[in-house]
Chain A
Amino acid sequence: MLAPKRVVHQRLARLTDREIDLDARDPAYIRSMLPLTWLLASLYFRAEVRGLERVPKDGPVLFVGNHSGGNITPDTAVFLLAFNTHFGVERSLYVLAHSLVTSWPLLGKWLERWGTLTANPLAARRALDAGACVLVYPGGDVEVHRPWKARYRVDFADRTGFIRLARQARVPIVPVVSCGGHSTYFPLTNGRSIARALRLNRLARLEVMPISLALPWGLNIGDFMGHIPLPAKIVVELQEPIDVAERFPRDEDTPRATEYVRLRMEEALVALSAERLSPL
């Protein structure tokens, strides 16, 4: 079921500097949820996180991730658990999410307590300026619903805003590469042509209408109600930080910088996939 057009647009329209609520993140709540998240990550997804020692010890960091698994993305939960247990819940980490996700009345409020912000350059900049870390998935809905045959591709959907953000805020980018999320269901197509025909981009900022095979629905159209993910092994590997302001200082370097980050991530993703003999 789609969120009503006016709800999404009203929410985006009222997202002003004053209303980006960084205080909605609730460290005590996150701490209380860590044991349950650990059980889910360790027992169900056999999660493994590598490279946290590459994250600068303090100060703001822009984490740039790839994500998989449709609307139920185990990658994010696994990374949030690892970050909060490694650095402590006191080090703030905000996750940028699609406005459709944060618009759901109960889900949106629950995600806010975990530090989720509606994806918006202003919100990310506010968090970074406050000294917090930010996790962004440039590929957004296009990437998370990419078809099975493209599961080892990193697709930023031509979005480059994260490079400008890192350059302007003068923060390092740490690529966060996740492997395994796309084995938790079987995406057949991202349905971009269907989304265009239905004008979903105008109605709800959605560029895809994914069709997949997933539990418990069987044929799953849209994935709006989520699904039960299969217990695939999730491996998350953090890469060496990239100083965008130093390596790619000019505005005209932005496409090249984007391709550099994407290439670094795809290289790591394919290498991680070579470690597994079976999808699960």
Chain B
Amino acid sequence: MVRIDRSLCVAQAPEVLFHLLCDPLRFPRLFKAFSKVEQISADARCVGARYLMLVRVGRSEAGGVQRITDFQPPYRIAWTSERGVELSAAVSIRPVGSGVSEVRVELAYAVPGWRPAGVIVERLTRHVVDRHMHATLLTLKRLAEFDLETVADTERQRP
């Protein structure tokens, strides 16, 4: 099991940050790490909503069907895998004063299959996934602090 924990301070209110993070369907447009996200349940943005999420890792895409297990605007969203890579993730947002919030991402995953190969893959992919998370947090910071209008434009152009 690989566990990764990253956090970053962003000069923006939790409500704005949660708005950027609450809809997984936006992720491929906003964050480079996500190659594909599809909604596969009737419900969206609530506990029980299910999404197919894929992330680029090395030469392939990894991920699977994720179900939202916790949805507390504007402070926390968490999901766990139903199919594919065994994964659980949570994003927590907490105000740390004077218009600044701390965004924390916690991720745990395990690669299925033959264990010796799985251990090697987990060791190799740990840094890749960690850098994906780091890049995603930096993108979130840039969007929240500088480019909210760009996000709004993208939303308007959405089919």
B97: CB under 8 A from chain A?
no
The yes or no answer to B135 lying at the interface (CB within 8 A) is yes
Q: Distance (Å) between the CB of B159 and the closest chain A CB?
A: 22
Confirm or deny: B132 has a beta carbon within 8 angstroms of a beta carbon on chain A. yes
Say yes or no: is B69 at the interface (Cβ < 8 Å to chain A).
no
Interface segment out of the listed A41-49, A141-149, A213-221, A266-274: A266-274
User: Do A270 and B128 touch (CB < 8 A)?
Assistant: no
Q: Are A271 and B142 in contact (CB under 8 A)?
A: no
Contact indicator B135/A260 (Cβ below 8 Å): no
CB proximity of A270 to chain B, nearest CB, Å? 4
Does B26 interact with chain A (Cβ within 8 Å)?
Answer: no
Contact with B along A240-280 (1 / 0, CB 8 A): 00000000000000000000100110110011011111000
- Contact between chains at B128 and A263 (CB < 8 Å): no
A263, A274, A277: most-surrounded residue (chain B CB, <10 A): A274
Q: How far is the CA of A198 from the CA of B142 in the complex (A)?
A: 39
- A152 close to B (CB within 8 Å): yes
Query: Shortest Cβ distance from A259 into chain B, in angstroms?
Result: 8
**Cβ B131 vs Cβ A270 within 8 A:** yes
Residues facing B in A222-237 (CB within 8 A) are none
CB <8 Å contact, A274 and B139: no
- Complex interface: chain B residues within 8 A of A276 (CB): 128
Asked if B33 and A271 make an inter-chain contact with CB atoms under 8 angstroms apart, the answer reads yes
Check A274–B128 contact: CB distance below 8 A: yes
Interface residues of B in 136-159 (CB under 8 A from A): 138-139, 141-142, 145-146
B62: min CB distance to chain A, Å: 12
B134 CB within 8 Å of chain A: yes
Rounded to whole Å, the gap between the CB of B48 and the closest CB of chain A is 31
- Also in contact, A263 and B33, with CB within 8 A (given A273-B131, A274-B132): no
Q: Which of B32, B56, B58, B142 contacts A263 (CB 8 A)?
A: B142
Does B32 contact A271, Cβ atoms closer than 8 Å? Answer: yes
Interface size, B (range)? 10 to 19
Bound complex: CA of A22 vs CA of B85, how far in Å? 57
Does B124 have its Cβ within 8 Å of any Cβ on chain A? Answer: yes
Task: List residues of chain B with CB within 8 A of the CB of A277.
Answer: 58, 124-125, 128
Pair B33/A274 contact, Cβ less than 8 Å = yes
Query: Is B139 a contact of A267 with CB atoms below 8 Å?
Result: yes
A271 to B146, CA, bound (A): 19
CB pair B134–A270 under 8 Å, yes or no, is yes
Q: How far is the CA of A41 from the CA of B124 in the complex (A)?
A: 27
| Contact code string B15-53 (vs A, CB < 8 Å = 1, else 0) | 000000000000000001100000000000000000000
Q: Residues of B contacting A264 with CB < 8 Å?
A: 142
Min Cβ gap A44→B in Å is 22
Q: How distant is the Cα of A274 from the Cα of B33 in the complex, in angstroms?
A: 9
Tell me the chain B residues, 82-117 only, with Cβ under 8 Å from chain A: none
CB distance from B134 to the nearest CB of A (A): 5
Give chain B nearest CB distance to A119 CB in angstroms: 27
A selection of 9 A-B contacts at a CB cut-off of 8 Å is A264-B142, A267-B135, A267-B138, A270-B135, A274-B56, A274-B129, A274-B135, A276-B128, A277-B124
